[in-house]
Amino acid sequence: MGIKIGGQIEKVNGRELSYSEFAERYLAKNQPVVLTGLMDDWGACKDWVSSNGQPNLHFFSTHFGKSKVQVADCGAREFTDQKRVEMSVLEFVNHWLQGSVEDLDGNGNGKSVLYLKDWHFVKEYPEYLAYKTPVFFTDDWLNFYLDNYRMHDDPDTNQENNDICCSDYRFVYMGAKGSWTPLHADVFRSYSWSANVCGKKKWLFLPPLQCHLLFDRNMKSSVYNIFDDISETKFSGFKKAIWMECIQEQNEIIFVPSGWYHQVHNLEDTISINHNWFNAYNLSWVWDLLLRDYKEAKEYIEDIKDICDNFEGLCQRNLAANTGMNFNDFFIFISRFSLANVVELYYIHNESKSKSSNRHWSDMVQH
Ligand SMILES: O=C(O)CCC(=O)C(=O)O
């Protein structure tokens, strides 16, 4: 039985939209939208795409071949996600090219489709200006914070502050036709935006009010692939879900609101740029998730409460391990951010008095 599609995602010309219109219609209402016309001057659209519209894989192997990246095997599930392996960009590109040769020969069946995900490209190549974050997505507290601090400092391991992995949420994704991302809601319940430098994606979205339909009766496990044969006994609500669909073309940017579950399929060989972020509009989503995950972490170890020296400490440690931050991290984040805003306001106030040209941090968005 297929899924029910109830509507399509709206497409809007980003050049005819002001920031306040975007904030009012999409950020504040937590609604998805596809924006066109915002990628014309991106270096990535020139360097990463061949004249036939296909990914310029040669450019990646010659310029970034040595980078170590996370690659998902789209045919192998591991817990709630796809199995991942680490390899160099060169190895990934070679695998991709071999796959296409086998497909041409009609022998491609035995090969797994690999999908390069979560490549911290900007962090690794800050000098190479691949793109400019569109103004709609620049009020980004998460990446601004992570450029300066870690979200969670584990006292047991002495991590370096310039570690490339887990250092920001600005990514490049690359995958051949047929690669895909299983059903999920985004990290921290952040917003995300995703820009197709080349290729085409199919997105399936479920609004937050229907998300309970994706879970089993204990609200513990959720559906992995909405196109699988889903057990009616286990996921009894699933068939009632009404999905929204979107075909995202080359040079289009999709805005994914907080808490919307989505599954994504590359309909063609695709390269995309993708950020996760939050700000005042969706911070409450982050806190709600933290509270829910905290209760779950606490329940999970309730039976050892009486024999535990520091039960609360253990709950917070598990919360950070599962969710990526705990209450203390959230508190420090908010405090630092509030202080930074007070300083910012002080400068804006002085600037408007003196008309001097101090630089605003949110201007620094060229990647
Ligand atoms: O493009 C993909 O495969 C997944 C992207 C995604 O899930 C997101 O941007 O939130």
Atom nearest to 201 CA in ligand 1: 1
Are 99 and 159 in the same domain? yes
Phi then psi dihedrals of residue 257, to 5 deg: -75, 175
pLDDT, position 154: 79
pLDDT, position 211: 97
The domain of 334 spans 285-363
pLDDT band at 364 (very low <50, low <70, confident <90, very high): very low
Helix axis angle for 283-300 and 311-323, nearest 10°, is 130
Are 251 and 302 in the same domain? no
Q: What is the pLDDT of residues 235-283, one digit of tens each?
A: 999 999 999 999 999 999 999 999 999 999 999 999 999 999 999 999 9
pLDDT, position 365: 55
Are 212 and 322 in the same domain? no
pLDDT, position 112: 80
Most informative mutation of 33, 169, 181 for ligand 1 (most atoms within 8 A of CB): 181
> Per the structure, how many domains does the chain have?
2
Q: Give the ranges where 125-261 is alpha helix by DSSP (H).
A: 141-146
Quickly list DSSP for 302-342. Answer: GGGGGG-TTHHHHHHHHHHHHHS--HHHHHHHHHHHHHHHH
Are 138 and 88 in the same domain? yes
Write the CB contacts of 216 (distance below 8 Å, at least 6 apart in sequence): 222, 234, 235
Q: What is the pLDDT of residues 39-87, one digit of tens each?
A: 999 999 999 999 999 999 999 999 999 999 999 999 999 999 999 999 9
Are 266 and 353 in the same domain? no
Interatomic CA distance for residues 45 and 30, integer angstroms: 29
Q: pLDDT over 70 for what percent of the chain?
A: 90
Q: What is the pLDDT of residues 107-125, one digit of tens each?
A: 555 568 999 999 999 999 9
CATH number of the domain encompassing residue 27: 2.60.120.650
Gap from CA of 204 to ligand 1 centroid (Å): 11
Q: Give the ranges where 226-324 is alpha helix by DSSP (H).
A: 283-300, 311-323
Phi then psi dihedrals of residue 87, to 5 deg: -155, 175
Q: What is the pLDDT of residues 126-166, one digit of tens each?
A: 999 999 999 999 999 999 999 999 999 877 655 554 454 45
| Total Cβ atoms within 10 A of residue 68 | 13
Boundary (domain end) residue, out of 282, 304, 325: 282
The one-letter amino acid code at 71 reads V
Atom nearest to 184 CA in ligand 1: 7
Are 33 and 92 in the same domain? yes
Gap from CA of 347 to ligand 1 centroid (Å): 37
Boundary (domain end) residue, out of 239, 254, 282: 282
The distance between the two most distant Cα atoms of the chain, rounded to a whole number of Å, is 70
pLDDT, position 189: 98
Interatomic CA distance for residues 235 and 215, integer angstroms: 6
Mean pLDDT of the chain: 92
Gap from CA of 201 to ligand 1 centroid (Å): 9
Residue 26 DSSP class: I
Whether 274 is in the pocket of ligand 1, judged by its Cβ within 6 Å, is yes
Whether 293 is in the pocket of ligand 1, judged by its Cβ within 6 Å, is no
Are 109 and 230 in the same domain? yes
Residue 315, pLDDT > 90, answer: yes
pLDDT, position 104: 52
Residue 9, pLDDT > 50, answer: yes
Residues 330-334: contacts with CB within 8 Å, 24+ apart? 330/286, 330/287, 330/290, 333/141, 333/145, 333/151
Are 269 and 294 in the same domain? no
pLDDT band at 27 (very low <50, low <70, confident <90, very high): very high
Are 291 and 342 in the same domain? yes
Are 45 and 87 in the same domain? yes
Interatomic CA distance for residues 73 and 92, integer angstroms: 11
pLDDT, position 72: 97
pLDDT band at 355 (very low <50, low <70, confident <90, very high): low
Are 277 and 128 in the same domain? yes
Are 328 and 221 in the same domain? no
Q: What is the end-to-end Cα distance of the chain in Å, rounded?
A: 44
Range scoring the smallest mean pLDDT among 161-175, 196-210, 343-357: 161-175
Atom nearest to 256 CA in ligand 1: 10
Boundary (domain end) residue, out of 222, 254, 282: 282
